[in-house]
Amino acid sequence: MLQSELNRFNQYRIMWVFVFFDLPTDTKKDRKNATRFRKGLIQDGFTMMQFSIYTRHCNSRENANVHINRIRGILPPKGEVIIFTLTDKQFGMMEFFKGESVTKRPDTPQQLELF
């Protein structure tokens, strides 16, 4: 097998696991459950992509399934959790956009001085 074929194969074998969640935080118990869930994701190697979106890189589909099963084990009693996977190839085709942050313009002098 050529090296290019091996790379192409690996792009489809390597997986990214995404966890999207919307959890209630109305009561003290709800907040505790939401915090416990987020901390469980972080302990399992997930990183925050956005506030309620966490991702994890996995070397194979089998490894991704291990982490998905761990998430199932820590699901909070309330709220919504969505788990899905993308191949490394699909992840590489994602486009990320970040708007410019609003910054204060520097003060401009009232009068131009010439020397």
pLDDT 10s digits, 40-63: 999 999 999 999 999 999 999 999
Q: How many CB atoms lie within 10 A of CB 97?
A: 4
Quote the CA–CA distance of 16 and 83 in Å, as a whole number: 11
Domains and CATH numbers, the chain: 3-88 (3.30.70.240)
Which has the minimum average pLDDT: 16-30, 36-50, 81-95?
Answer: 81-95
Between 21 and 13, where is the model more confident? 21
Instruction: Please indicate, yes or no, whether the overall pTM of this predicted structure exceeds 0.85.
Output: no
Give 39 or 11, the one with higher predicted confidence.
Answer: 39
Name the band, by pLDDT with cuts 50, 70 and 90, for residue 9.
low
